[in-house]
Amino acid sequence: MQQFPKAVAYYYKRWHEFEMELHHHPAMEIMYVIDGKCQIEIDDRIVDMRKGQYIFIQGHVKHRLIIDTDYPCRMLNVEFIFHSNDRSHYMSIDQLFQTHPSLKTLFDQNERYFLLKDDEAVYFTLRHLVLELDHQSANNQLLIDNLMVQLLLWIDRNRREHNEQTDNQHLKKALTYIHEHYDTEIKVDNLARITHLHPSYLHKIFRLSLGMTINQYITKVRLDKAKMLLVNTEIPVTEISNYVGVNTSQYFSNLFKKETGLSPSSYREHFREI
């Protein structure tokens, strides 16, 4: 027996003023906004959706559609399940996961839904999938399976690119804070709060993007500033530590020498002579 995604409901619908009953079903659902805008109530939250956006909702998650009277909305909905039968598909969902491991995260029940903006590839594939489903027969089953695989792959790519872009935005926000507050005490919890990320995930972003930990980056910024101040200003060496947010001049001196091989005084003398 092979498990493979099977569409169980699919339809176009132009909605006017409407409030759906809160409901849930075993099928996973993709709701795509073709035109207009709407809201989805899900997990006690209201999610706003506009043209070109779609939401992927896991099975058994309570949700409902809300349409404002002033903003009609045309949507394409597809609901699907993982289905087993005796008919062999050209590949199983497990084989697909092995080929593209990131696909498995689409069905992580801990992430009960996700909202994405399309670059038209998802809608293009959805349209063709629904058209083939409308004329489903033994002759086009392979094409339907192929379109379902394409749909999942496009959504996976769309989601990974969205996450990478979001991570870059969070990283930029954290870096800006560090560069504006290096002269004060910076705690990882401060950075986690302003980026709205868990500290461990923020650490992961720094390691993947910059090849260093958060504290290593903060130290680098402080020492780079110290080098500039030592060479280009007359600020006493004993006060430089205060300018770059290091608690004591002795600790600053030890940190500086470990990094450069020179004491702050020697660094100033050496580079001013060059």
What number is the average pLDDT over the span 124-142? 93
In this predicted structure, the answer to whether residue 273 has a pLDDT above a threshold of 90 is: no
**What is the distance, to the nearest Å, from the Cα of residue 258 to the centroid of all Cα atoms in its chain?**
37
Closest CA to 105 of 156, 70, 174, 148: 156
What is the domain range of residue 233? 182-274
* All residues at 6 or more sequence positions from 242 whose CB lies less than 8 Å from its CB, including other chains: 183, 249
What's the pTM value of the predicted model, to 2 decimals?
A: 0.70
124 within some domain: yes
Co-location of 94 and 156 in the same domain: yes
240-254 tens-digit pLDDT = 999 999 989 999 999
Q: What is the DSSP letter of 68?
A: -
> Would you say residue 215 has pLDDT above 70?
yes
Task: Count CA atoms within 13 Å of residue 108 on its CB side.
Answer: 10
Residues 19 and 66 in one domain: yes
Q: Is residue 175 part of a domain?
A: no
Q: What is the pLDDT of residues 149-199, one digit of tens each?
A: 999 999 999 999 898 888 999 999 999 999 999 999 999 999 999 998 899
Reported as a single tens digit per residue, the pLDDT across 4-45 is 999 999 999 999 989 999 999 999 999 999 999 999 999 889
Q: Are residues 155 and 219 in the same domain?
A: no
Phi-psi map region of 102: left, alpha, beta (phi>0 left; psi -120 to 50 alpha): alpha
User: How many domains, the chain?
Assistant: 2
Contacts of 215 (CB under 8 A, 6+ apart): 188
pLDDT at 84 over 70: yes
Q: Is the dihedral of CA 199, 205, 208, 214 positive or negative?
A: negative
Predicted pLDDT at 274: 57
| Residues 71-83: tens digit of each pLDDT | 999 999 999 999 8
CA 225 and chain centroid, separation: 32
